[in-house]
Structure 1
Amino acid sequence: MTATSSLVPHPSTHTIEVRAPASSANLGSGFDAVGLALSLHTTVRATLTERPEVITNLPGVPLDETNYVYRSARLLADTAGKPLPPLRLEIESDIPLARGLGSSAAALIAGLVAANTLLGEPLTTHELLDVAAREEGHPDNVGACLLGGAIIATLDDGHVEHVHVTPPAHLGVLLVIPHFELLTSKARGVLPHTYTRADTVHALSHAALLAAALTTGRLDLLHRAMQDRLHQPHRAPLVPGLTTILNEATTHGALGAALSGAGPSVLCFYDRHDDPTPLTAFLHDVLHREHLHGTLRDLTIDPNGTTHTTPPHP
């Protein structure tokens, strides 16, 4: 088995290139049910070869068959009941790891789609979504990553039911990406095991309003619809500045704000018809006040989801 960390072109007539977007899950009240595809991407070039090989620009990830993209490809083959031939995987990504931006979902979907394509597409898109959601445990990140736009979904008995939404083109996304990692397991570990009846009713009503706002384009409803009591208040101590952004961002031009996935990134929606300067200045000020190092990114919503092409020979 060979592993290397430098990217080298590898000509082959059996190569597929897969591009999978980042995603932001929950959007506040849509806990484990709502996801949004964003314009950061993981790109995987998979080539049928004589021996397994993994090369990547990502630090600290396995460079052998235990790599998550490779394991995802094997999961697809096992699910389809087909043998997986040896693969050379070239993996590049601009999705920050452990930041609540669906890096694991992008790796999972990229591996599934690459293997499915190379094996003659034995699984349909919906079957791919089912496999990915079962593996992740929820359909929000993987659904948005696979399909693009926004997704509202449930996972019942191993199968996903979903509504795919194309948000308005003028819905902008400002993202605060702190320079520290937050593992999903830690963020989930602080959640309570039970909730009050009042919090449950609050969650149901606001998640329903969020779904309605997204499907009808009622961006004026986002601020109220994204209000949450299930996870964000409990995760706030792990993310300095989160409470301030959730409480004050709309007074500086945001349409709504939410912790992105399990965090620590924080998402703010805004209308691209409006000047984002006051919102940008507010977010920079929060980082400064909290003595946080971080990056502010103005992203678009990825409308295409995961795509695959056959690259030309170099």
Structure 2
Amino acid sequence: MSVELSVGKKVSVTVPGSSANLGPGFDTLGLAVGIYDTVEVEVIASGLEVEVFGEGQGELPLDGSHLVVKAIRSGLAAADVHAPGLRVVCHNNIPQSRGLGSSAAAAVAGVAAANGLAGFPLSDAQVVQLSSAFEGHPDNAGASVLGGAVVSWTEVPVDGRTEPQFKAVNIPVHSDIKALALVPSFHVSTEAVRRVLPTDITHLDARFNVSRCAVMTVALQQDPSLLWEGTRDRLHQPYRADVMPVTAEWVNRLRNRGYAAYLSGAGPTIMVLGTEDVAQSLLDEAREQGIRVLPLEVAGPVEVKVLK
């Protein structure tokens, strides 16, 4: 029988955004970046109250279909506790549907909040599992839970009945590496952008991506000079270029200037990793085109504070 949480218990969660794929590591590599959503969750006597400020305000649902609420309930169930009612207040800074892990961050925030309300019975691995289940892959969620860079994978049981197991482990990031996000004004649907990907690829392209994914793990950990080579990809970015021409143009322009630019997640955000600043003239031109320029640090893990 589940334990009922006491009215008035309250937690605050600060969760970083993330950049997935990092070029060749499709659904595998992720990086936590320093743009944050904050979610406050309080146990109330009954009902559900949801408020959203910042990104998504006036657009996101304010009922039980809100992803943070669904994730809270998933986390509470896993911790075997029950809340008579919930008040959820979201302060969002991560742009929605732009390839910076807003959905994964919402799922992580909800599960982490539930874990805090319950007294932290869930391990990091369990938080990764529960939050990744909402999207079906753990690259973004794993990065937001663990911080830094992650290698992630999914174990699909052969029995057809057991749920997939989502896994992620940290890899250290060289202290000189910083990120720069160029965020276009338009949204994209992750599922719509996935539909342009082919069902089969050549053995040559598969070999290319395996090698660059390996190079990327070395670049992140010990040799940032390899970041340009490590962000090369033939698995997904070439196929997505036609549906995001502005993004593709900027990725190519930056790479032609020697910057390790890639499509962040499903896009349309362009991410640049490196140790040197991008030329100011390029950033000024991007801003003139209505593209937001966000200098970002590599972020740490999700943080949960018990307030009451």
Do they superpose with TM above 0.5? Answer: yes
- Residue aligning to 1:121: 120
> Aligned pair 1:166/2:163, yes or no?
no
Question: Partner of 1:270 in structure 2?
Answer: 274
User: 1:253·1:270 contact (CA, 8 Å) conserved in 2?
Assistant: no
CA contact (8 A) 1:178 1:265 kept: yes
- TM-superposed CA distance for 1:248, in Å, is 3.6
Aligned with 1:106: secondary structure? helix
C-alpha deviation, 1:277, in angstroms: 5.2
Q: Aligned partners of 1:310 and 1:214: how far apart in 2?
A: 33
Task: Give, as a single letter, the amino acid of the residue that structure 1 aligns with 2:112.
Answer: V
Matched, 1:260 2:264: yes
Q: TM-score, normalised by structure 1?
A: 0.87
In structure 2, the gaps of 5 or more residues are 1-6, 157-163
Q: Is the 8 A contact 1:133 1:155 kept in 2?
A: no
Identity rate of aligned residues, in percent? 33
Measure, in 1, the Cα distance between the counterparts of 2:248 and 2:105: 28
Say whether the 8 Å CA contact 2:287–2:293 is kept in structure 1: no
Instruction: Return the offset for 1:155.
Output: 1.4
The change in CA–CA distance for 1:250 and 1:235 in structure 2 (over 3 A counts) is: closer
The residue aligned with 1:20 is 15
RMSD (Å) for aligned C-alpha atoms: 1.9
Equivalent position amino acid for 1:99 in 2: R
**1:238-286 CA distances to partner (integer Å, 9 max, x unpaired)?**
22333333334245452x1110100000001131xx4x252x4224436
Contact 2:9 2:307 in 1 (8 A): no
Unaligned runs of 5+ in 1: 1-11
Amino acid at match of 1:26: N
Would you say 1:300 and 2:306 are equivalent positions?
no
- Where 2:187 maps in the other structure, the secondary structure is coil
Distance 1:183 1:242, change over 3 A: same
* Residue 203 of structure 1, CA deviation: 1.5
- SS of equivalent to 1:263: coil
CA separation in 2, counterparts of 1:136 and 1:103? Answer: 11
Q: Distance in 1 between matches of 2:212 and 2:278?
A: 29
1:23 Cα deviation after fit: 0.4
Q: Deviations over 1:149-207 (max 9, x none)?
A: 11111111333443312312321211110011011111111111111111111121111
**Residue 119 and residue 163 in structure 1: after superposition, are their counterparts in 2 closer, same or farther (change >3 A)?**
closer
Pairing 1:228–2:227 present:
no
Matched, 1:190 2:200: no
Distance (whole Å) between structure 1 residues aligned to residue 34 and residue 286 of structure 2? 24
Q: Distance in 1 between matches of 2:271 and 2:97?
A: 15
Preserved contact between residue 116 and residue 306 of structure 2 (Cα < 8 Å): no
**Kept after mapping to 2: 8 A contact 1:241/1:287:** no
Cross-structure match for 2:25: 30
Please state how far the C-alpha of 1:25 moved relative to its aligned partner. 0.3
The residue that corresponds to 2:209 in the other structure is 203
User: CA–CA distance in 1 between the matches of 2:254 and 2:59?
Assistant: 35
Distance 1:85 1:165, change over 3 A: farther
Matched, 1:249 2:254: yes
Who is 1:39 aligned against? 34
Letter in 1 for 2:226: L
Q: Which residue of 1 aligns with 2:92?
A: 93
Q: Deviations over 1:12-47 (max 9, x none)?
A: 851100010110000100110011111111111000
- Distance in 1 of aligned mates of 2:236 and 2:200: 12
Are positions 1:49 and 2:44 aligned together?
yes
Are the aligned partners of 2:247 and 2:269 in contact in 1 as well (CA < 8 Å)?
no
Tell me what 2:3 maps to.
none
Paired position in structure 1 for 2:146: 147
1:69–1:31 CA distance, 2 compared to 1 (3 A): same
Structure 2 distance, partners of 1:187, 1:54, is 30
Q: CA deviation at 1:112?
A: 0.2
How far apart, CA to CA, are the structure 2 residues paired with 1:222 and 1:33?
17
TM-score w.r.t. the length of structure 2 is 0.88
Equivalent pair of 1:25/1:36 in contact (CA under 8 Å): yes
Q: Whole-Å Cα distance in 1 between the matches of residues 81 and 306 of structure 2?
A: 22
- Tell me how far apart the structure 2 counterparts of residues 294 and 245 of structure 1 sit (CA, whole Å): 11
**What is the CA-CA distance between 1:75 and the residue it aligns to?**
1.1
CA contact (8 A) 2:21 2:264 kept: yes
The question of whether the paired residues in 2 share the 8 Å contact of 1:241 and 1:286 is answered with no
Q: Which moved more, 1:76-85 or 1:25-34?
A: 76-85
Counterpart amino acid of residue 260 in structure 1 = S
